[in-house]
A and B are shown apart, each in its own frame.
Chain A
Amino acid sequence: EVQLVESGGGLVQPGGSLRLSCAASGFTFSIHWMNWVRQAPGKGLEWVANIKQDGSEKYYVDPVKGRFTISRDNAKNLLSLQMNSLRAEDTAVYYCARALFGDYSTFDYWGQGTLVTVSS
């Protein structure tokens, strides 16, 4: 059974940092593009970043460029999101999402999400 379990969320002050993790199991992690998608309270979905199977390509949505870094460890089946210089508008539930095999932007499995709250 495919499982994606996020962790690392919490309350952080503006300007602070947080590192999210997504533990993957039940599938061959190294052959899928992986993504982070967020959802602010009461709002819609916003894609954050994705990373190629071998980590050689990464893409980000404009508002997080230069502040967030996506990475992966295929030996540990782990996806990460390092978030720096956090702002109030980064407050959201952050989902880890797997892309379909052979695809990079169709999300066939999602984790349950981890809540990040940026507030003083």
Chain B
Amino acid sequence: SYELTQPLSVSVALGQTARLTCGGNHIGSKNVHWYQQKPGQAPVLVLYRDTNRPSGIPERFSGSNSGNTATLTISRAQAGDEADYYCQVWDSSTVVFGGGTKLTVL
């Protein structure tokens, strides 16, 4: 079965740029989606099909996907960006989520 690998935690200084990675075999050939989840809340879609932002998501959120790594980039990180982030793909008729990365804004 297909697996997605995310670092358990990433820290970023307030106002700096955070890069959250999602590794998978030839993930560059797949559409990758990213979700943000804050404690006690449902997940929120922040990027879909690698680079697309849903309405209401700030331009500070961007993405890329190539080779074996997809990346969610959060520019000018804010305290409100502190959350768990999950990448997700569709593979062999199933949805696969990464294990999630906890983003801490220092």
A45's closest neighbor in chain B, by CB?
Answer: B97
How long is the Cα–Cα vector from A111 to B44 in the complex, in angstroms? Answer: 10
1/0 per position for B63-97, CB-CB distance to A under 8 A?
A: 00000000000000000000010101110011111
Given contacts A100-B48, A106-B33, contact A47 B96 (CB under 8 A): yes
Q: Is the CB of A44 within 8 A of B42?
A: no
- Quick check: is A85 within 8 A (CB to CB) of the other chain? no
How long is the Cα–Cα vector from A104 to B99 in the complex, in angstroms? Answer: 21
Size of interface on B: residues with Cβ below 8 Å to A: 26
Q: Is the CB of B42 within 8 A of A45?
A: no
Contacts of B95 in A (CB 8 A): 35, 37, 47, 50, 61, 105
Size of interface on A: residues with Cβ below 8 Å to B: 21
CB of B34, distance to nearest CB on chain A (Å)? 10
Contacts of A95 in B (CB 8 A): 42-43
Contacts of B90 in A (CB 8 A): 104-105
Q: Which of A61-107 contact B (CB under 8 A)?
A: 61-62, 95, 100, 104-107
Please give 20 more A-B residue pairs, beta carbons under 8 A apart, in addition to A105-B90, A112-B41: A35-B95, A44-B84, A44-B98, A44-B99, A44-B100, A45-B86, A45-B97, A61-B95, A104-B90, A105-B89, A105-B95, A106-B31, A106-B45, A107-B35, A107-B43, A107-B45, A108-B48, A110-B43, A111-B42, A112-B42
